[in-house]
Amino acid sequence: MKTPIIIDTDPGIDDVIAITAGLFAEELDVKLITTVGGNVGIENTTRNAVNLVNFLGKDTPVAKGADEPLLNKLVTASAVHGESGVGGYQFEEKAGIANLSNRHAVEEMRDVILHSNEPVTLVPIGPLTNIALLIKMYPETKSNIKEIVLMGGAAQGGNRTPVAEFNIFVDPHAAKIVFDEQIKITMCGLDITRLTSITTENVREIEGYGKVGDMVSRLLSDYDSTTSTQNHFTIHDLCTIFYLTRPEIFKGKRATVNVVTEGEASGCTVTHYTENGHVFVCLDADVEEFRREFVSTFKKVYETMEG
């Protein structure tokens, strides 16, 4: 039985890689992709999501969501992902974008969740604005949400500030709403994403995998150095998908997480470890297995697309 999921995203180079892995994962059924302002503005994140779905030959519906955080002004990460959000990579712009909904992402999420026979897993890999809006506007959906597996936060450190990770920093008020909800959450924060970086050797292995390998390797060549060191790329968002398809790779602890919403520490995810916490914080992984999964995933995608 495939797990029904909704990916909420701000593509974004690492988002593109995560979405690609999710769309071809035999364990997952991606019911909907929703977009949010984050890495770049909403028009670019939405265009990137639609172009990617078309590039991959999928018909997954896409719906545009919040352009701005709940209260704060949008802060982007175009320095990391390029002004377009996908570096210098040019996706073919297909005329007549068939799979972009004319309804707001939150409305589409509500319908997918309420009409699903199986509880739906939410996979937010950008700021949590849409998820907070869903919870507040349609609380009846909570009973059919299996869990939230998100990329965001950190038990230790930050990347937008010394104490705040970007997705939480952009919309701390939304993040507080989500983390305060007693919905089961798995937090793939910087603690795990920085550990499970991909090597240049891994990227070299996949660059020959047809158009998808070429796309991924070219995107990563544009991925800013703050996210990649000389020989490693931190593909943050990919952790959420591999957590869902290969949970045995990961280890962590249960916690409650308090989000700081004001002042110099805004966006900090204060992590309190407790056995009965509703948040599972990923803290360790079999890194070599993660890297093998990266290579084998894109080999499978290549063979499926061009085999």
C-alpha–C-alpha distance, residues 40 and 66, integer Å: 12
Only one of the segments 12-20, 75-83, 97-105, 200-208 lies at the binding site for Ca ion (rule: CB under 5 A); that segment is 12-20
Cβ–Cβ < 8 Å for 167, 45: no
- Biggest alpha carbon–alpha carbon distance for the chain: 53
Residues numbered 256-285 forming contacts with ligand RIB, rule: CB under 6 A = none
Phi-psi region of 104 (alpha: psi -120 to 50; beta: other; left: phi over 0): beta
Exactly one of 173, 232, 236, 272 is catalytic; name it.
236
123 binds ligand RIB (CB under 6 A): no
CA distance 180 to 247: 24
CB of 49 to Ca ion, least distance (A): 11
293 binds ligand RIB (CB under 6 A): no
Give least dist CB 152 to ligand RIB, A.
7
Residues in Cβ contact with 116 at an 8 Å cutoff, skipping those fewer than 6 apart: 4, 31, 144
CA atoms of 123 and 248, how far apart (whole Å): 18
Task: State which of residues 8, 15, 108, 181 lies at the interface with Ca ion (CB under 5 A).
Answer: 15
Binding mask 106-145 for Ca ion (x = CB under 5 A): -------------------xx-------------------
14 binds ligand RIB (CB under 6 A): yes
Lateral strand order in the sheet of 3-9: 62-64, 28-35, 3-9, 120-124, 145-151, 185-188, 279-285, 250-259, 269-273
The option from Ca ion, ligand RIB, none interacting with 77 (CB < 5 to 8 A, set by class) reads ligand RIB
Q: What does residue 228 show for φ and ψ, rounded to 5 degrees?
A: -135, 135
Spatial CA neighbour of 172 closest among 258, 261, 256, 257: 261
Closest distance of CB 9 from Ca ion, Å: 6
∠197-200-202 over CA atoms, to 5°? 75
Judged by CB under 6 A, the stretch of 8-16, 91-99, 130-138, 293-301 that binds ligand RIB is 8-16
DSSP 194: T
In the annotation, is 278 catalytic? Answer: no
- Token readout for 94 is 């297909």
Which of 6, 28, 77, 86 touches ligand RIB by CB under 6 A? 77
- Residue 191 is a binding residue for ligand RIB (CB under 6 A): no
Please report, as ranges, the residues that interact with ligand RIB according to CB under 6 A. Answer: 10, 12, 14-15, 38-39, 77, 125-126, 151, 159, 165-167, 236-237
Active site residues: 236
Q: Which parts of this chain interact with Ca ion (CB under 5 A)?
A: 10, 12, 15, 125-126, 237
